[in-house]
Structures are given as C-alpha cells and as structure tokens.
C-alpha cells in the first residue's frame, strides 16, 4: 500500500509496502510534486530516474524471497537542493561502493550488472549511505540550481 504524506513546505513522504506494487504510483506522485515545486522537466526526469532505479534495486536485489519489505521515500526541497532519503528494510548494500561496470571494450569484458547504479551515481550531486537498525539509509542531494545539459540528437 502506498501511503503519501505531503504539505506545502516543499516535502513529501511515501511508504511503499509492498514496493513493487506501488512504484508506478510513487513515480506519478514524484512527477506531480516536481511540477508543484516548479522543477524543470529535465530535472523531474532525473529525479524520477534516480528514485525508480534505487527503489527497483531495493525490491529486486535487497530482500530475501518471500520476506516482507518496506521502502520509505522522503523528498524535501531546500533553497537550491532537493534531498531524497530512501530507507529500506532489505539486506545491507552500499551503492556508493559498488564497483562501476566496464562498458568500454578497452576496460575489459563489458559488464551487464551495475549500470543503473552507475547512472544514479553520475546523476546525483551527492550520495551518502548508512546502515542502522537493520535498515539501509541513502541520502541523495540534487542541486536544483545547476543547469541541466541538453541531449541534442541530429536527425
């Protein structure tokens, strides 16, 4: 069940249990929150991509089969930053120390796993991981004042 709490001070909180069934509703609520905060579409996309990847990793890789799992997502807007906190009851895992995959042939055989975490680490301005009380706690900071770079494709 997705439980959403929000207010007018620029923050929103979600509790997902079970997370895999609530993820689409979470992402829709994050998009609406971003619109209400006046965030650019490119920034909202980056925010949704980061949260989606981390919640997916938590549900797919972080829990034992059949175990109950809860993921909490809290997003708070500050002066020039957006702070995303993700707390889950899964197995211990620090995404900040996970090795980045090889994606270029000159680096060795191309790796498949870990590409999403690599993307998250490149899109976030800061990431901090801690573990306490059998929960993973991840804090991601995104600078809302930083100009997004456009991806231009020639047709």
CATH number at residue 28: 3.30.565.10
Q: For residue 148, what pLDDT band results from cuts at 50, 70 and 90? A: low
pLDDT in tens, 83-107: 999 999 888 989 888 766 655 556 5
Give me the pLDDT at residue 112, please: 55
pLDDT in tens, 29-75: 999 999 999 999 999 999 999 999 999 888 877 765 456 778 899 99
**Residue 153: inside a domain, yes or no?**
no
- The rounded distance, in Å, linking the Cα atoms of 53 and 117 is 7
**Residue 155: inside a domain, yes or no?**
no
Query: Which structural domain range is residue 38 located in?
Result: 2-143
Residues 6 or more apart whose CB falls under 8 angstroms from that of 29 comprise 2, 4, 12, 14
Tally of structural domains, the chain: 1
User: How far is the first Cα of the chain from the last one, in angstroms, to the nearest whole number?
Assistant: 44
**Residue 154: inside a domain, yes or no?**
no
**Residue 148: inside a domain, yes or no?**
no
- Asked, as a colleague might, if the bond just before 18 is cis with ω within 30 of 0, I would say yes
Q: For residue 152, what pLDDT band results from cuts at 50, 70 and 90? A: very low
Integer CA distances (angstroms), 127 to 20, 83, 98, 120, 140, in order: 23, 10, 13, 9, 5
- The rounded distance, in Å, linking the Cα atoms of 57 and 83 is 19
Give me the pLDDT at residue 113, please: 57
**Residue 134: inside a domain, yes or no?**
yes
């Amino acid at each position: 069940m997705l439980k959403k709490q929000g207010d007018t001070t620029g923050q929103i909180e979600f509790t997902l249990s079970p997370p895999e069934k609530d993820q689409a509703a979470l992402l829709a609520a994050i998009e609406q929150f971003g619109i209400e905060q006046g965030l650019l579409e490119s920034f909202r996309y980056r925010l949704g991509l980061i949260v989606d990847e981390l919640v997916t990793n938590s549900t797919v890789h972080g829990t034992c089969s059949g175990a109950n799992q809860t993921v909490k997502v809290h997003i708070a807007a500050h002066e020039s930053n957006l702070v995303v906190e993700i707390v889950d009851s899964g197995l211990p895992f620090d995404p900040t120390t996970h090795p980045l995959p090889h994606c270029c042939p000159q680096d060795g055989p191309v790796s498949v796993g870990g590409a999403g975490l690599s993307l998250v680490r490149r899109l976030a301005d800061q990431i901090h991981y801690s573990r306490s009380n059998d929960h993973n706690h991840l804090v991601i900071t995104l600078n809302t004042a930083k100009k997004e770079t456009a991806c231009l494709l020639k047709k």
